[in-house]
Chains A and B, each alone.
Chain A
Amino acid sequence: MLRFDDRVVVVTGAGNGLGRAHAHLFASRGAKVVVNDLGGDIHGGGGSAKAADVVVNEIKEAGGEAVANYDSVTDGAKIIQTAMDTYGRIDVVVNNAGILRDVSFHKMTEADWDLVYEVHVKGSFAVTHAAWPHMREAGYGRVIMTASAAGIYGNFGQANYAMAKLGLFGFGQTLAIEGRKRGIHVNTIAPIAGSRMTETVLPENLLAALKPEYVSPLVAWLAHEDCESSGGLYEVGGGHFAGLRWERSAGKTFRVGRNISPEDVQTSWDAIDGMEETEHPENIAQSMQPVMGNLERGESKGGNEWIDVDEALGYEFPEQTSSYTERDLALYALGVGAAKDGEGELDLVYEMAKDGFKALPSYGVIPAINVILDLGKRGVTAPGLHYGLDRVLHGEQKLTLKRPLPRNAKLTHKARISNIYDKGKGALVVTAIESFDEDGDLLAVNEVTTFVRGAGGWGGDRGPSAEKNTPPDRKPDAVVEEKTAANQALLYRLSGDWNPLHADPAFAKAMKFDKPILHGLCTFGFSVRHVLSQLAPEGDPRYFKSVDVRFAKTVYPGETLITEAWKEGNELIFQTKVKERDEVCLSNGAIELYETIPVKKAKPKGTAAKAEASAPSGPISADIFGGIGHWMAENADDTKRVDKIFQFRLSDPDSVWTVDCKNASVSEGETAKPDCTLELTDANFLAMCTGQADPQKLYFGGDLKIGGDIMASQKLTFLQKVEEKHVKKAMDARGAGGGDAPAAAAPSGPTSADVFRGIGIFLSENPDIPKGVGKVFQFKLSEPDSVWTIDASGDTGVTEGETIKPDCTLELTDADFVAMTKGEKDPQKMYFGGELKIGGDIMASQKLTFLQKVEEKHVAEAMKNRPSGGETKAAPKKAAKEPFAPKLMDSLTVKKNGGAKVQLLVTDPDGAWFVDLGEGSVKPGTYDGADTTITLDDASLAELAKGDADASALFQKGKLRVDGDLAPARDLGWLKA
């Protein structure tokens, strides 16, 4: 019980209402109470000493201790003096006294205002101020301020009162801070109670619920020494108690150092006024936090109505993905003028080109630009960039490739605004886009520089200004002249930039061009192609490292481009002119080359695969090729008959294999002169070799490409003669070490038998584990059926077959067992789902956790040494069973047997029969008037009717449910098949 023995409590305004209830509660719990009341009416007019005396007498009659004081709270010192004189100390001050001068504001007089202020604010000040030195000295004190909802939320006609009440809260908050070190706690309550002050405004029934006695317990708790809270604000009344705190919106922060206009506030109003994201500052420091944070961010980088550098710079676009195939590469190459004569540059457009298909490196800009265009179309733009496309020109383009573009790729793009420059009249906005391949390796980096007309002039960073990549003052080392086609833009736009400016004459006119113009990036593609063809080693585009170029002038389709290039150290400086107008359209160009063609670094073998699959693998393509080799060695004559050299180019992951039937050899790597080249994905190759995919379908579906002597490919039927054992031989040679990806197909992953034998190997390697377990487990697997015993009781071993005395029996399907050991299924869920049944010592099953220690290698070892005889038994499909109940009930003849009426409800599948044992009748359906309802599933009914189970056991197991009278359920003798 919370007691106030020896505590002295001053309650102001304690003659009636809340104050009186507080005083009584304190006194009843041992406090000595100074009952202060002026004896005034609620409007602050005159008074007698009576009210306080009445309360003091009540307290004394109840055995408590109290003394009356009749001073005004504005004479607070006198009230405290009464406490000191009478009891010699002061522990608690409850500032409760108050008056009302309710009047609407336009009628309010200064006297109304001042008087309310005097009593509530000045009064609380005076009393507390007088008590404060005593509390400081004692190192202990509790002060309660009485505020009001009117002060917090406002209330019609209470302008003066609201002012005073919220004033008390602020007053109390500061006292809480000042008093904390001296053990003085100050809290504020906002009570609602039916007191003299409110009886004029509230209906009677509500008043009854708002007893002062519902407020006082909070005051007592806040005033108790055990209460650690200080600086709190609490709503209380009518049985409800709650804390109240400030809430602040996330708001809007403008960087310092720039003008903030009223319009800035207006446009940010949702963020400032909205309360979707909020926090709750508790003190001045927390109040200041957003400001301090803003100061830490430093001065604004500026901006204007078009560009807000602070918002835009560094913005990261949402990650995007895209993919391309050889078709996209070839279409692009055609779009930038490749292979115009149908003979040269075939390697850029024909995937089966003799010298191997190559991507034109300038294609590297396309996926990135397309992603940005696509984001724009979907309305995803960087914040702080407020200009339309009409102001935008593609100013400069930079592209770096980490290695030659693969023939197909799935890319992930990360784009961000990397630089913003103020060029005076205009501005430059640089978007950097990094493109990563499926393995997360960086493949390409683009920097797109956009010139924004009329958007500069905020006095910001002007950026680098030195002229770069200026052509030297000598004759170019290479010059390429090429006429673009009249439909060049129409062809190029199919690679992704669908802007009608490049296709629609009317649109172009509206944009003040004579006719549709060529894409700047199309000219760019021409130029890169030109330079590489002339100055890269052997004209091989795969040496490309980077290009950097400025777009200077527009080109019209059909015009002639002249690209001039100079070899300057490692760089190839270039520019491109329009011949007809003798104007430079691409300037300040530079291309860098790699010294050798870079290759993607191979992943450390096995890691990726291991992450994917915990199970020991089936064959990988290397095994199949190995198997082919073994077959060829055994079947020299058949091999000779084929007499061709095949080259397999597999992708995902990439590998190249040569199957040489002329010399009966299989090797990894390229061959000089294959008769026939086959290109397909690794997965499709595996599927083809395991009979899961038909090569002809792969071919016509475009998934298998055959180059060279297509007829030779028909001889590949010999592959079907390669047997599992050949592949297995190759797998064994690969050893257990390489946990490569599991095969899509045949010579399958581990079977349950493999897992059990693996467990056996594990147990023999770890003899201590079974000792700790000390149990014998029997597994009964179904579909296909098998029984295994794991003896972990000391007589260690795993054997197929039953055991006489298992501690624990587990029943589940073969597939579930394998899934469970792979961690794909949770045994507990299976158990509760009924897929796993456990018999015998159920607690022993918990010890099966040791199975988790069985490693892949144990199972792999078991797989390697599978006993002959093949055990991948096909799972016989269970035929859907015919429901038992209808058959039984149709054939049932019920003799008169007592008088009970039994409603039989069968589930799974559902059925209902009504049996009247009085009449000896059975009818399907449900009827009223049953004495007993018996519910059970079809299978249980079958067991029961056949005598395989008795009703009491089914009932105990919950399989037979009885509602109503149970007795008829005990005598189901009539229910016999």
Chain B
Amino acid sequence: MRKVHVIGVGMVPFQKPGKSDDYPVMAKGAMTAAFEDAGVPFTDVEQAYVGYVYGDSTCGQRAVYEMGQTGIPVFNVNNNCSTGSTALMLAKQAIAGGMAECVLALGFEKMEKGALGAKWDDRANPLEWHAGQMNGMQGFTAAPPAAQMFGGAGREYRWKYGTKRETFAKISSKARSHASKNPYALFKDELTVEEVLASPEVFDPLTRFQCCPPTCGAAAAILCSEEFAKKHGKGDAVWIAAQAMTTDFPSSFEEKSMMKVVGYDMTKKAAAKVYEEAGIGAEDVDVVELHDCFTANELLTYEGLGLCPEGEAEKFIWDGDNTFGGKYVTNPSGGLLSKGHPLGATGLAQCTELVWQLRGQGEKRQVEGAKVALQHNLGLGGACVVTMYRKD
């Protein structure tokens, strides 16, 4: 397999639903920034993988056409919350497998206000097995379904390890503190643990400020082969050291565990594959962008990715090992909680942040001397993509 470089990244500042531009405009903004960053023209792109969840078919083409109609293959990608990194993975595969030299991965989302819900009620709901598991364990309430799922996982973890409410709230507070230094983030105001806990309860232990908001935005990455990068004087560009995607294992539906239902095992196994492929482990990672759709999931993911031993996430958090000055910096961008979570764009926005970090372009939120970065993007339904980036 060939080495794959990320030579250009770009995104637009994320917006609240109803306040954003339409998706072609957002996408154009992200693509324009990415091509400027890469220093190559759009006409060099041989294929495009475009991720979005909400929209009719071929929105991908409509968005890419903003840059030009060069007749290249455009693939529309849909994989729930991990849509963006799924597009990224397909682009990476095309380069690694020698099918193309320069590929665009684009993700965008124009979301509606309010919590996620099903759009189609005349056919099997893709999450019906997950929902059935949850209903058996904890019933079904009027709270947003995703909050019930991840909140339920939080309950299970809490019961198992006796975690304090404040521990979950601390994650939000940390996310806001990171986001305050990121001009691309949606919520830049800092929040104290008390403020997080005082916000309305969505689904115990989750309060409002522990749930990521529906968001609109776009992000793009341009991937290329080593040869292409060198030809354009970018031989030292960030490269993808390893990448893996997992989907649900039987444990999601058999173990009567909400942590498993929301993909704990998907995370764990994808991470293990990545460490094996990269030949380096969690201890070598400097900076992480992980899927903090809810605080509970960030906490679970610390353990899933092996950033700390199982059952020790609370200590990890209180020791400050998830922020500047600690072992790792998780979500320097502010994460989904503060930067926002436009489903199709999130995976590529994570990639964008990490590429900036590895290049030392993180500005006020730069993780000093970051050389190895880890990305984790998870969707219920389910799919989990873990990617490791390196800069030589």
Contact = CB atoms under 8 A, between A and B. Distances in A.
Contacts of A842: 128, 131-132, 135, 140
B135 A839 contact: yes
B138 A970 contact: no
A841 B135 CA distance: 8
A952 interface: yes
A970 B258 CA distance: 18
Interface string B140-155: 1110000000001001
A958 B258 contact: no
Given A832-B142, A842-B131, A956-B152, A965 B204 contact: no
Interface stretch (B44-52, B158-166, B211-219): B158-166
A840 B121 CA distance: 18
A444 B163 CA distance: 79
Given A842-B132, A843-B125, A957 B162 contact: no
Nearest to A807: B132
Contacts of A955: 155, 158-159
B140 A963 contact: no
- Among A839, A956, A957, A967, max chain B CB count under 10 A is at A956
B156 interface: yes
Interface in A941-977: 952-953, 955-958, 961-967, 970
Nearest to B152: A956
Interface string A830-843: 01100000111111
Contacts of B156: 956
B162 A956 contact: no
Interface in A838-855: 838-843, 846
B300 to A, nearest CB: 15
Given A846-B121, A966-B158, A956 B128 contact: no
B163 A832 contact: no
B137 interface: yes
A773 B137 CA distance: 26
Interface residues of B, number: 25
Contacts of A831: 140
Interface in B217-263: 258
B124 interface: yes
Contacts of A964: 164
A146 to B, nearest CB: 29
Contacts of B137: 953, 956-957
B139 A957 contact: yes
A846 B258 CA distance: 23
A842 B139 CA distance: 9
Contact of A843 (B131, B138, B204): B131
Interface string B17-43: 000000000000000000000000000
B12 to A, nearest CB: 11
Given A838-B140, A956-B138, A958-B203, A970 B132 contact: no
B264 to A, nearest CB: 15
B130 to A, nearest CB: 10
A841 B141 CA distance: 15
Contact of A957 (B125, B138, B163): B138
Contact of B141 (A832, A956, A963): A832
Interface in B97-151: 121, 124-125, 128, 131-132, 135, 137-142
B159 A958 contact: no
Interface in A819-877: 831-832, 838-843, 846
B131 to A, nearest CB: 6
A841 B159 CA distance: 26
A963 B165 contact: yes
B128 A843 contact: yes
A843 B132 contact: yes
Contact of A970 (B131, B155, B162, B164): B162
Q: What interface size band does chain A fall in? A: 20 to 34
A967 B162 contact: yes
A118 to B, nearest CB: 44
A970 B204 contact: no
A842 B156 CA distance: 21
Nearest to B142: A832
Nearest to A772: B122
B159 A956 contact: yes
- Among B162, B163, B258, max chain A CB count under 10 A is at B162
Given A843-B124, A843-B125, A956-B258, A966 B132 contact: no
A463 to B, nearest CB: 60
Contacts of A841: 128, 132
Nearest to A841: B132
A956 B135 contact: no
A840 B131 CA distance: 10
A843 B142 CA distance: 15
Contact of B159 (A838, A965, A970): A970
B116 to A, nearest CB: 16
Contact of A966 (B140, B142, B162): B162
Interface string A112-139: 0000000000000000000000000000
Contacts of B162: 965-967, 970
A956 B121 CA distance: 28
Nearest to B158: A966
Contacts of B124: 843
Contacts of B204: 958, 961
Contacts of B131: 842-843
Contact of B132 (A840, A957, A958, A967): A840
A832 B142 CA distance: 6
Contacts of A962: 158
B159 A952 contact: yes
Contacts of A956: 137-138, 152, 155-156, 159, 258
B163 A966 contact: yes
A839 B131 CA distance: 11
A839 B135 CA distance: 7
A958 B138 contact: yes
Nearest to B165: A963
- Among B125, B135, B258, max chain A CB count under 10 A is at B135
30 contacts: A831-B140, A838-B135, A839-B135, A840-B135, A841-B128, A842-B128, A842-B132, A842-B135, A843-B124, A843-B128, A952-B159, A953-B137, A955-B158, A956-B137, A956-B138, A956-B152, A956-B258, A957-B137, A957-B138, A957-B139, A958-B141, A958-B155, A958-B204, A962-B158, A965-B162, A966-B158, A966-B164, A967-B162, A970-B159, A970-B162
CB-CB nearest 9 A-B residue pairs: A843-B128, A966-B162, A832-B142, A957-B138, A842-B135, A956-B138, A967-B162, A843-B125, A952-B159
Given A840-B135, A966-B159, 6 more contacts: A832-B141, A842-B135, A956-B159, A957-B138, A958-B203, A963-B165
Interface of B: 121, 124-125, 128, 131-132, 135, 137-142, 152, 155-156, 158-159, 162-165, 203-204, 258
